[in-house]
């Protein structure tokens, strides 16, 4: 399939993802309002904010699972504001929803092969590099997803989203509900993604410590709008007190 490149405009081209004036919600209720956000190639961008402010809603809107009421979304310079989730996946956006949502009854291998369906080049074989990042999954290929530990399921969810070779990975609270010892494994995976700088990551993360250590840039969402943003080195206690503590 050849895709039209006619909507590339100057200025959009340096960002992997660019949101301008995005509004989205459910039924009558508007959850996300006038969100401007940018992810540059190879960057790790952290999206922070209290529970219920709209972080997951924004992630779903980026993946096309919720239709925006207003605003535009550009991915690699192409406007995908109204594209289907499938088209976004084919274009190179990988998504790990909050709560993982792997297929419990399918094997690890079947789960990974489903992720491969998003590959633009229609390849049929799982890339070897996937098992370099997730060695634990190689030994578990024939196990049912539901038989894996929480941490392994999270690794499977991330591996599935990476199977097709995305350029942008959306990770919604990947450390949530995982034992502290396993959190470090997931953090190490995100760190290895950052080292390679081939995939940009938009990460919803509650831990200020991890956000400060890993992120290049941060956004704080408060009641649906971006209340603060900047280089991760500027993430401060004050900001946290103001926008992140309950």
Ligand X SMILES: Nc1ncnc2c1ncn2[C@@H]1O[C@H](COP(=O)(O)OP(=O)(O)O)[C@@H](O)[C@H]1O
3-state class of 199 per DSSP? coil
Report, in Å, the least distance between residue 158 CB and ligand X: 18
- Which of Mg ion, ligand X, none does 97 bind, CB closer than 5 to 8 A by kind? none
C-beta of residue 73 within 8 angstroms of C-beta of residue 56:
no
Q: Quick one: which of 99, 174, 165, 93 has its CA closest to 133? A: 165
Q: Pick from ligand X, Mg ion, none: which does 152 bind, CB < 5 to 8 A by kind?
A: none
- 49 touches ligand X by CB under 6 A: yes
Three-state SS at 236: coil
Q: Does 206 bind Mg ion (CB under 5 A)?
A: no
d(CA 235, CA 245): 14
Q: Which of 12, 16, 54, 118 is the binder for ligand X (CB under 6 A)?
A: 54
If one asks whether residue 68 binds ligand X (CB under 6 A), the answer comes out as no
Least Å distance between CB 51 and ligand X?
Answer: 4
Evaluated on CA atoms 92, 75, 156, 133, the torsion sign reads: positive
Shortest Cβ distance from residue 30 to ligand X (Å)? 10
Q: Residue 243 class from Cβ within 10 Å (0-12 exposed, 13-18 middle, 19+ buried)?
A: middle
* Token representation of residue 124: 């049929």
231 contacts which partner out of ligand X, Mg ion, none, CB within 5 to 8 A by kind?
none
Site for ligand X in 22-41 (CB under 6 A): 26, 31
Whichever of 46 and 91 has its CB closer to ligand X, that residue is: 46
**Interaction between residue 245 and ligand X (CB under 6 A):** no
């Amino acid at each position: 399939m050849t895709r039209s490149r006619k909507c590339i405009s100057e200025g959009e081209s340096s960002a992997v993802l660019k949101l301008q004036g995005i509004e989205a919600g459910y039924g009558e209720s508007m959850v996300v309002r006038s969100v401007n956000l940018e992810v540059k190639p190879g960057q790790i961008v952290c999206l922070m904010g209290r529970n219920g402010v709209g972080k997951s809603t924004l992630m779903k809107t980026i993946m096309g699972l919720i239709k925006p009421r207003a605003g535009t979304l550009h991915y690699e310079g192409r406007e995908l504001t109204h594209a289907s989730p499938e088209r976004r996946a084919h274009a190179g956006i990988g998504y790990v929803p909050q709560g993982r949502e792997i297929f419990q009854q399918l094997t690890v291998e079947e789960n990974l092969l489903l992720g491969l369906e998003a590959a633009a080049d229609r390849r049929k074989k799982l890339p070897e590099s996937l098992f370099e990042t997730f060695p634990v999954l190689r030994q578990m290929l024939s196990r049912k997803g539901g038989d894996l530990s929480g941490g392994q399921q999270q690794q499977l969810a991330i591996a599935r989203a990476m199977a097709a070779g995305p350029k942008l990975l959306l990770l919604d609270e990947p450390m949530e509900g995982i034992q502290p010892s396993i959190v470090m494994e997931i953090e190490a995976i995100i760190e290895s993604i950052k080292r390679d700088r081939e995939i940009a990551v938009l990460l919803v993360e509650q831990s200020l410590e991890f956000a400060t250590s890993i992120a290049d840039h941060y956004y704080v969402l408060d009641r649906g709008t971006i209340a603060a943003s900047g280089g991760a080195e500027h993430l401060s206690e004050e900001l946290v007190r103001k926008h992140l503590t309950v």
